[in-house]
Amino acid sequence: MKIEDIKKARKKAAGLLKKARIAITPREAENIEVSDFGLGDLENVGLLVVVYENNDRYCAKEIVLLPRQICPEHRHPPAGAAEPGKQETFRCRFGEVYLYVPGEATPNPRARIPKKYRPHFTVRKEIVLQPGDQYTLPPDTLHWFQAGDKGAVLSEFSSTSRDESDVWTDPRLERLPRID
């Protein structure tokens, strides 16, 4: 990713956070994590994240999704015998989010996956989150999500986040972007 693209994405994320009436500090705005997962297709597949706290007990974040942007399918596996994997609760603050988890496939799902990425999305049970709705995922649960047409903001409350140990269905994915 290019620095200019990251700056533009951060500006868009700050705009969506403002629409959600979530205040962040100037420093947090400058440090919004921007990831295209190494695909170079941020408009379709990506993630913008404000991390408030991530320590050895818990994590709190805002996840910002641009309109129709997808966070790809992944799971948070156990990190040793003492840690069963990350458990996370998503609470929708703005927009609409289509969350997909294991279970019976939802007929006529709302998500739109670009054709070239479809083989890497295997769970099809749809949970629709609107402002005020929340959903908790148990550890090591395969999941993915997409924003609706207006974009979306999700608050995430979880056990410790260990991005480096996440397992992605698409083996090409990299959580942190390469910056040109």
* Spatial contact of 142 and 3, defined as CB atoms under 8 Å apart: no
Q: Is the pLDDT of residue 5 over 80?
A: yes
Q: Is the pLDDT of residue 158 over 80?
A: yes
> Which region holds residue 37: left if phi is over 0, alpha if psi is between -120 and 50, else beta?
left
Contacts of 136 (CB under 8 A, 6+ apart): 87, 88, 89, 90
| pLDDT given at position 62 | 98
Q: Determine the average pLDDT of the residues in 12-31.
A: 97
Domain boundaries defined on the chain? 3-168
Q: Is the pLDDT of residue 39 over 90?
A: yes
Q: Determine the average pLDDT of the residues in 69-75.
A: 97
Q: Is the pLDDT of residue 176 over 80?
A: no
56 versus 180: the higher-pLDDT residue is: 56
pTM, two decimals, is: 0.95
pLDDT band at 82 (very low <50, low <70, confident <90, very high): confident
| pLDDT given at position 71 | 98
When mean pLDDT is compared across 66-80, 110-124, 166-180, the lowest value belongs to: 166-180
Enumerate the H helices of 119-171 as residue ranges: none
Residue 50 belongs to what H/E stretch?
A: strand 47-54
Pick the CATH number of 3-168 from 2.60.120.620, 2.60.120.10, 3.30.70.20, 3.40.50.150: 2.60.120.10
